[in-house]
Amino acid sequence: MLHLGLARWEDIKFPIQASAHVSPECLATVLDIMEAAWPADDAHLKKFSVNALIGRWANQEQYTYNVRTSQHAEDCLGYHMKRLVSFNGNGKGQVTTDYIFATRLVGNISWRPIWDTIMAIERTRVAQMRWILERLGVPSRGIRQIKTDCLVLIPARKLIPKLMSLGEIRNCDLANLVQTHMGTLPVIGGQKRLNDGISMTCTQDESHVFRWTRGAEVKLLQGRYREPELNVPAPSLVPSWRHLGEEEAKQGARTEGLLICGCPGVGKSFWARELVAQLRSEGKVVS
């Protein structure tokens, strides 16, 4: 928000200082080992394994797991989950069960900040894509769907080469993203851009930030999305106002409600006080 001039330094009241700093390679090395464990031609399993690990970090409770195998359920009371395992014993098909037990660990360690950081980066990248598309002249109607980490577009044919150029943006280019697509921003209310107040260090990472695909590989959201509806009877129409005589008005005050109107001095307040006193003497609550 500072970078785009949507907020000023005066709006920031509290600083955030990390209590420890680690090298980015300490996590990258672990993820590289996980991906290398899968077949080279199976990119989906590589991605799913890393996503499963990251999803696990969202849970702030820590557990250790162990498994017991038995054919008798009474041997494994209190299990967390189970699975059936078929095997051939003595030439006959048999079934045993793996019972998985979970033991909660007590401590002050949490991986949630890393999960929050990863999710925040995904949201930021999608917002950057949306902002770049606006700079390139892609109208809002050209965005078919917005997912967690991507956009599905139906752009004009003349814009496709520009959109494909997004795949050339590298991580080391992100610090100058605004200048690249907007040039010099105007100073709003004396506020300087983040680049003017603090020198943004360009990373040496030359890996690409975005990638694109076309045709059959583009997948829309798979859920069932429809307008909400209620299977209830239609509401009854409010009847029109009716002019009532004095007795009909008293009866209406006992059932539907009553609106008293008239010129000043005709006795509305006096008649209303008398009616309220009569209704309260009958045990009714008048508001």
Q: Which two tokens stand for residue 175?
A: 């610090």
Mean pLDDT throughout 213-242?
Answer: 77
At 200 the pLDDT is 60
At 38 the pLDDT is 87
Q: Are 142 and 84 in contact (CB under 8 A)?
A: no
Whether residue 188 is predicted with pLDDT greater than 80 in this model: the reply is no
Terminal-residue alpha carbon distance, the chain: 51
Q: ∠ at Cα 87 (81, 93), nearest 5°?
A: 120
Q: Which residue has the higher pLDDT, 103 or 27?
A: 103
Instruction: Provide the pLDDT confidence category of residue 75 given band limits of 50, 70 and 90.
Output: confident
Q: Are 147 and 221 in contact (CB under 8 A)?
A: yes
Taking the domains of the chain in order of start, what are their residue ranges? Answer: 62-105, 110-217, 246-281
What is the DSSP pairing of strand 81-89 with strand 62-70? unpaired
Mean pLDDT throughout 147-157?
Answer: 86
Q: Which residue has the higher pLDDT, 177 or 139?
A: 139
User: Each residue of 79-94: pLDDT tens digit?
Assistant: 888 888 887 766 677 8
Rounded to the nearest 10 degrees, what angle do helices 246-254 and 268-281 cross at?
A: 50
Mean pLDDT throughout 263-285?
Answer: 86
On whether the pTM is more than 0.75, the answer is no
User: Each residue of 91-104: pLDDT tens digit?
Assistant: 677 888 899 999 98
Backbone angles phi, psi at 98, to 5 degrees: -95, 120
Lowest model confidence (mean pLDDT) among 70-74, 114-118, 210-214: 70-74
At 89 the pLDDT is 62
At 283 the pLDDT is 83
The rounded mean pLDDT for the chain is: 81
At 278 the pLDDT is 87
Phi-psi domain of 150 (left: phi exceeds 0; alpha: psi -120 through 50; beta: other): beta
At 199 the pLDDT is 59
Whether residue 129 is predicted with pLDDT greater than 80 in this model: the reply is yes
